[in-house]
Structure 1
Amino acid sequence: MVVVGMALLVVFQENLVYAPGTKFYPITPAHLSLKYEDVWLRSSDGVRLHAWFIKLCPDCPGPTILFFQANAGNIAHRLGMVSMMMQRLQCSVFMLSYRGYGASDGYPSQHGITIDAQAALDHLYQRIDIDTSRIVVFGRCLGGAVGAVLTKNNPDKVAALILEGTFTSIPDMVGVIGLPFPKWIFGGSGSNAPGIFNSLVRSPWSTIDIVGEILRRQGGSLASRPFEVKSVGPSHDLKLYLLFLEVAVIESSL
């Protein structure tokens, strides 16, 4: 049974990592009296992507937040949070629908979503109605993993990276969500286990490694706070925060 279960897990792993649900947007920013622009992008592999650009006001000088959602639902389900964010931070927000999510075409994968995020950042950098030196990447849960990769790849274009409820890696999530497989099968960060199936994980999203690289090599800015969401406990945020402290201590001693 364990062998069959592992085989099914490998075959259908994307269904566990990505849960876009309905393609329909139950509400739009207009329902919350937010002025917005429908934006259509093309990723580098030709996939058509949808996004909302919600401007605080035409002449507002504040930052622009590039918002990456969690793995379930679509961007419409995050509008309440975004509205609050805009009011409190006086910022504009660009909300991307990953491929396979919302009105975007395609099917989600780590490689695909990574280049989707790049398309969103490239679009923002071409706009003349924002301050491109004040682009802040915000990611929640899966979105934090997406944002971390984007920040690593674009250290000169991202002013800050904010992670909320972000996992350290997908293999590390096995213990959190309670799958009935021995932990040694997957290993994970901080584990001496061989992780014999890790090479079969198509979307590993190793955030802890990416964040470590950002902090050590590129001086990226990280603000991560423990915040429990449905799938990830605060221990994952704590690991990322402790990594930040470790790097800060190392750098201060140089």
Structure 2
Amino acid sequence: MVSYVSALLYGMGGIVMAGMALLVAFQEKLVYVPVLPGLTKSYPITPARLRLIYEDVWLRSSDGIRLHAWFIKFFPDCRGPTILFFQENAGNIAHRLEMVRIMIQRLHCNVFMLSYRGYGASDGYPSQQGIINDAQAALDHLSQRTDIDTSRIVVFGRSLGGAVGAVLTKNNPDKVSALILENTFTSILDMAGVLLPFLKWFIGGSSSKGPKLLNFLVRSPWSTIDVVGEIKQPILFLSGLQDEMVPPPHMQMLYAKAAARNNQCKFVEFPTGMHMDTWLSGGDHYWRTIQQFLDQHVSEKKETESSSNYTGFEGR
């Protein structure tokens, strides 16, 4: 019996040590994937290929990192909403251009696409604080432009981009008018147990069970669930129920946390939506959902409605 218990303890110790080694060595490669397997870091296409009106924008993050972005307009003098788009963790902004092309056509908006540090033509190496700085640089740039309506800036984040967008929205209640989250995780701590199931007993977010012995090793925790509860602006949650990367309950938990304090939240499910294709499989319903959200919360009358205590609440 004693030998059995000893073996069990040694086995658990081995799992913990193996988990620690994996986290220390490979966590950035799991969280940030600037280059897709078999492809190069450079952009495969530019907006010009899709005949989009755009400009190359070069920024400096607060720590001096040089960043690249594309600012794409519906038409040269478009004063509609401007969507600050934050992508998923893998590949670069060029891989999202087809979706953005349809977004511009359907929503009659401008789109600002930022390459995180280490992605695309941007310098540096990705990290949580670094990307938060990058997102702030992009928003500051948009807020200073004179060719857009700066009162109608909307943050749109998918997956990792949702975590980035949530932090930016919370930190800038006076610059961001609304937030859209799609297929976003509660935290990287919770995703560790999804990607490496044997770690779920030793690592996890605030809502998980277990001793969480390895949490201190995670350099990019991205705890979105702790952030959304502090956001005051309207939030639209778009959840693909066939998401093969981020379990759909993560989006349900994010909505529940936000809606407990914010009555301007809306949750919409797409039964056939997967992690990367919810915008495609959702079809007309997907784009109408976003358009209705923008019409309600980011219309040209937003300032007047705010002054008359308009809440704009729409339930799930």
* 1:194-227: CA deviation from partner (whole Å, max 9, x where unpaired): 211111110000000000111xxxx221111212
Paired AA for residue 33 in structure 1: R
In structure 1, the residue corresponding to 2:211 is in which secondary structure?
coil
Q: Within the alignment, does 1:225 sit opposite 2:225 as a pair?
A: no
Counterpart-to-counterpart distance in 1, 2:199 and 2:29: 21
Tell me if the contact between 1:98 and 1:113 (Cα under 8 Å) persists in the aligned partners.
yes
| Correspondence for 1:157 among 169, 175, 178 | 175
2:288 is matched with none
Tell me if the contact between 2:20 and 2:217 (Cα under 8 Å) persists in the aligned partners.
no
Paired AA for residue 26 in structure 1: P
Question: What CA RMSD, in Å, does the superposition of the two structures yield over aligned residues?
Answer: 1.6
1:199 is matched with 216
Counterpart-to-counterpart distance in 1, 2:230 and 2:45: 38
Q: Within the alignment, does 1:184 sit opposite 2:197 as a pair?
A: no
| Correspondence for 1:210 among 212, 221, 227 | 227
Q: Within the alignment, does 1:238 sit opposite 2:252 as a pair?
A: yes
Paired AA for residue 76 in structure 1: A
TM-score, normalised via structure 2 length:
0.74
Counterpart-to-counterpart distance in 1, 2:135 and 2:262: 28
Tell me if the contact between 1:125 and 1:132 (Cα under 8 Å) persists in the aligned partners.
yes
Counterpart-to-counterpart distance in 1, 2:209 and 2:243: 27
Tell me if the contact between 2:229 and 2:260 (Cα under 8 Å) persists in the aligned partners.
no
| Correspondence for 1:12 among 1, 5, 26 | 26
Moved more, 37-46 or 191-200: 191-200
- The ranges of structure 1 where at least 4 consecutive aligned residues each deviate by more than 4 angstroms after the TM superposition are none
Gaps (5+ residues) in structure 2? 1-13, 264-310, 312-316
Counterpart-to-counterpart distance in 1, 2:194 and 2:115: 26
TM-score, normalised via structure 1 length:
0.92
Paired AA for residue 188 in structure 2: I
Between the two proteins, the alignment pairs up a number of residues equal to: 245
- Residue 246 of structure 1 deviates from its aligned partner by 2.5
In structure 2, the residue corresponding to 1:102 is in which secondary structure?
coil
1:140 is matched with 158
Query: Quick one: structure 1 residues 182 and 37, their matched pair in 2 at CA, closer, same or farther if it must change by over 3 Å?
Result: closer
Q: Within the alignment, does 1:84 sit opposite 2:98 as a pair?
A: no
In structure 2, the residue corresponding to 1:186 is in which secondary structure?
coil
Identity value in percent: 71
- Residue 60 of structure 1 deviates from its aligned partner by 1.7
Counterpart-to-counterpart distance in 2, 1:31 and 1:237: 34
Paired AA for residue 76 in structure 2: P
Moved more, 200-209 or 180-189: 180-189
Tell me if the contact between 1:225 and 1:238 (Cα under 8 Å) persists in the aligned partners.
no
2:137 is matched with 119
Moved more, 110-119 or 221-230: 221-230
Gaps (5+ residues) in structure 1? none
Counterpart-to-counterpart distance in 2, 1:119 and 1:133: 17
Counterpart-to-counterpart distance in 2, 1:39 and 1:47: 14
Tell me if the contact between 2:58 and 2:67 (Cα under 8 Å) persists in the aligned partners.
yes
Paired AA for residue 102 in structure 2: M
- Residue 6 of structure 1 deviates from its aligned partner by 2.6
